[in-house]
Amino acid sequence: MNIGTFAHLFKHEFRMDIRRMYARTWFWAYAAVILAVLLVALGVWGGRSGFNPQYLIYFMYAFPFFMIGVGHRALNREWSDQTYGWWLTLPYSRFRLLLAKFAASLVQGMILGVIAFGVLLVLVLYTSLLHGKGLGEVADFVQIELQYMLVTAAAVPFMTALGMAAAIIWRSKAKGLLPLIWIVFGTLGNIFNWINLYTRPEKSESTVLLFQHGIPPEVWAVLAGMWLLAGGLFAVAVYICKKHLIV
């Protein structure tokens, strides 16, 4: 693969949605207002046990699902913006065109994930400093974040590939397979939850930790399996884009 052209394709894909995000002033306005409300609320009630910023990490459950949207959007915008004619006639293989989109989506997701984890960490640090619970709590939270990062790292490539595959299948002769894909996804979607239920003791204290007694070995197998599945879904997207696209 010519790294030079791939780098240009990647840069083009990466910048497309970043540019849009920068241009959306309402997005930044919402983010600033939510952060200000959180800082004030944590300043006032942050010391109470029921108002712990650690619970905000549950938002991270939505993150892999958000990546379905990112992957889907990376493909679908070629049609919604009427640029697919330029994109599909570039003198590069479908594999390379789709890989640039996949890689750009993953990097965008990783950056957003790191920002989200960073903001949460700052909020926990802020609460600890204001309400005097000590830095031990912050260290505990870093451990929690690392567990969530692991689950996110396992799920994000799969979810991104799923979003891309869904977008390309929708534009192909295989459109009828899409409901089946969502049914299979819905059934397998809670796999981490099942592992955790299996490994978690029946009576446990309330915690936001995903794995209370260390990361069970099954999780590493699932992680590898999810990445393999992501590769498989990506290969399906390339094949359909090559052979069965309707334009």
Partner 1 sequence: MTQSAISAEDLCKRYGKKIALADFRVDIPRGTVTAILGPNGAGKSTFMRMITGMVRPDRGTVTVFGRKPSWKTNASIAYLPDRARWFGGHTVRQAVEWGAKLLPGFQTDRAWELIDMLGLGADQEVAGMSKGQEARLMLAVCLARDVPLLVLDEPFSGIDMLSREKIVAALIDSFSERSQTVLISTHEIAETESLFDYAVFFAEGRNALSGDVEELRARRGSVQDIYRQLYG
Q: Which of residues 16-45 bind partner 1 (CB under 8 A)?
A: 16, 19-20
Query: Would you say 19 or 213 has its CB closer to partner 1?
Result: 19
Q: How far apart are CA 57 and CA 117, in angstroms?
A: 8
Q: Are the CB atoms for 237 and 161 separated by under 8 Å?
A: yes
Torsions phi, psi of 58, nearest 5?
Answer: -60, -20
Query: Would you say 132 or 176 has its CB closer to partner 1?
Result: 176
- The interface mask with partner 1, positions 199-238, x = CB under 8 A, is ----------------------------------------
Shortest distance in whole angstroms from residue 107 CB to partner 1: 17
Q: How far apart are CA 22 and CA 45, in angstroms?
A: 33
DSSP β-bridge partners for residue 245: 172
Q: Which stretch binds partner 1 (CB under 8 A): 47-55, 61-69, 76-84, 212-220?
A: 76-84
Tell me the one-letter amino acid at 120. L
Tracing tokens 């640090």 back to the chain, one arrives at: 125
Q: Out of 15, 24, 175, 213, name the contact with partner 1 by CB under 8 A.
A: 15
Query: Would you say 13 or 145 has its CB closer to partner 1?
Result: 13
Under the binding rule (CB under 8 A), the answer on residue 9 touching partner 1 is yes
- The interface mask with partner 1, positions 80-99, x = CB under 8 A, is -xxxxxx-xxxxxxx-----
Q: Which stretch binds partner 1 (CB under 8 A): 1-9, 52-60, 134-142, 214-222?
A: 1-9
Query: Would you say 62 or 246 has its CB closer to partner 1?
Result: 246
Q: Site size for partner 1, by CB under 8 A?
A: 24
Query: Would you say 25 or 89 has its CB closer to partner 1?
Result: 89
Q: How far apart are CA 226 and CA 7, in angstroms?
A: 26
- What CA–CA distances, in Å, run from 148 to 54, 91, 111, 114, 187? 12, 40, 15, 11, 21
Q: Out of 8, 24, 175, 213, name the contact with partner 1 by CB under 8 A.
A: 8
Q: Are the CB atoms for 168 and 237 separated by under 8 Å?
A: yes
DSSP for 4-50, please give it: HHHHHHHHHHHHHHHHHHHH-HHHHHHHHHHHHHHHHHHHHHTTSTT
Q: How far apart are CA 76 and CA 93, in angstroms?
A: 18
C-alpha atoms less than 13 angstroms from C-alpha of 107 in its C-beta half-sphere: 15
Q: Which of residues 46-75 bind partner 1 (CB under 8 A)?
A: none
Shortest distance in whole angstroms from residue 172 CB to partner 1: 12
Query: Would you say 90 or 235 has its CB closer to partner 1?
Result: 90
Contact set with partner 1 (CB under 8 A)? 5, 8-9, 12, 15-16, 19-20, 81-86, 88-94, 243, 246-247
